Structure 1
Amino acid sequence: MSERQKSILDAAVRVIARAGVRGLRVEQLAAEAGISTALIYYHFGDRAGLLRRTLEHINEDAAGYTQQAAAKATDARGELELLLLLELQDTESVRTNSTAWGELRASAVFNEDLREPLAESTRVWVDEVAEVIRRAQASGSASPLADPLDAAERLTCLVEGLSERWLSGSMTIARARKLLRGAIAAELAER
């Protein structure tokens, strides 16, 4: 991806986080990115293409900050906790990414063009979490009775819900992180 495209997508994430998907206007995005509207259409084709690429961009950013930090974990169980807890960081980039992701997810209910890319992104995330759970099981730090895919699905759903509550002010980030840690322990415990 070119620097220009990255700049446009960074601006799209900010605008969506601030105004929502329905509030995203190409003219507003062009102003935010400091470019012409024609350049947006040149790089992304249409609004649907822009939204799909923005979703991919959010995922790439999230993968960057979670994988980099998770690589510092000393075991698979610690990697799993970091992988999920890093989605609940009180930093500008995580708040912005999480808000835009939530907006795109909610918009997929009404926008069929977003459904498949969102479903694919979710499948990738669930599969990554399931793989870490399998490694935790292999190392003995997670119950062999837990179904990795089911546990990953429940945990990623929980992260999305906790993130939404935290971002909307319904819950503190400390409470969200505490609940997530408890859920990880419960999912990976002997049954």
Structure 2
Amino acid sequence: MMRKAVAVRREEIVVAALGQIRVRGICGVRAADVAGALDVSTALIFYHFGTLETLVIEAFRQAAENELGKLNRELGKGGPADQRLRAVLSLYGPSNHDNWPLWIEAGAAAMRDSALRAVLQRLDLRWRDAVVALIVESVGAGLFRCPDPRGAAWRLTALLDGLAVQVVARDGTVTAGDCERWVAQAVAHELGCRPGDQEGR
């Protein structure tokens, strides 16, 4: 039987690792779990990645790149800055972010793992920088009033972070409708508009 190309095999291992992390958590996943999901030996896992820690970091790096790809596609759609801002906030939020359980898990583990923390921080800062830039652009176009775009961006994304924890880690305490309403209210407060303003543009 022909051996699979290295890149193909590594990608399979990374995908399997992410699947196992979703099921077992970072602390619970073992190389044997990843190998079992692919019906290969653990030796093959270590041949390609050296350690389980290296595999976990690579898995999260690729997941982060996928999320940044979604962000970049949304930013590239064009249109008025306020519409793009609301679209990005919606994409970031818990109702449209299938990977939130993964990021919450990673955030807890990152407190003890500097390499994982660096991966998550890069993802986190890219989202926040995009929100800052969209607020600045919206203010420049006269769509919003905001004396502190950076502070507003961090407060809005921090709100979304907290709501995501409630949606993912608590059972039924917060609904998608709650999230949408509270975020709209926060946007109105931060950016000097009424909830719903500009949405029909």
Query: Shorter-chain TM-score: which interval?
Result: 0.7 to 0.9
Paired with 1:58 and 1:116, the residues of 2 have a C-alpha distance of 14
Paired with 1:150 and 1:31, the residues of 2 have a C-alpha distance of 47
- Residue 80 of structure 2 corresponds to 75
- Residue 165 of structure 1 corresponds to 166
- Residue 186 of structure 2 corresponds to 183
Larger Rg: 2
Once the two structures are aligned, what percentage of the paired residues are identical? Answer: 29
Q: In the TM superposition, what whole-angstrom CA distance separates every residue of 1:32-54 from its partner, at most 9, and x where no partner exists?
A: 34443333333333222222222
Q: Which runs of 5+ in 1 are unaligned?
A: none
TM-score (norm 2): 0.78
8 Å contact 1:109–1:115 — kept in the other structure? yes
Paired with 2:55 and 2:125, the residues of 1 have a C-alpha distance of 21
Q: Give the 3 Å change call, closer, same or farther, for CA 108–2 of structure 1 in structure 2.
A: same
- Residue 66 of structure 1 corresponds to 71
8 Å contact 1:58–1:101 — kept in the other structure? no
Q: Give the number of the structure with larger relative contact order, counting CA–CA contacts within 8 Å between residues 6 or more apart.
A: 1
Q: Which of residues 145, 150, 161 is equivalent to 1:143?
A: 145
8 Å contact 1:70–1:79 — kept in the other structure? yes
Paired with 1:130 and 1:70, the residues of 2 have a C-alpha distance of 13
Shift of 1:22: 0.8
TM-score (norm 1): 0.82
Shift of 1:110: 2.9
Q: Give the 3 Å change call, closer, same or farther, for CA 6–76 of structure 1 in structure 2.
A: farther
Structure 2 residue matching 1:2: 3-state secondary structure: helix
Give the alignment of 1:93-132 within 5 angstroms: 94-95=97-98, 97-132=99-134
Q: Which runs of 5+ in 2 are unaligned?
A: 1-5, 194-201
Paired with 1:4 and 1:128, the residues of 2 have a C-alpha distance of 34
8 Å contact 2:128–2:153 — kept in the other structure? yes
Paired with 1:134 and 1:69, the residues of 2 have a C-alpha distance of 17
Paired with 2:33 and 2:153, the residues of 1 have a C-alpha distance of 38
Paired with 1:3 and 1:180, the residues of 2 have a C-alpha distance of 41
- Residue 156 of structure 1 corresponds to 157
Paired with 1:89 and 1:157, the residues of 2 have a C-alpha distance of 12
Paired with 1:64 and 1:16, the residues of 2 have a C-alpha distance of 21
- Structure holding more helix per residue: 1
Q: Give the 3 Å change call, closer, same or farther, for CA 144–88 of structure 1 in structure 2.
A: closer
Aligned length: 186
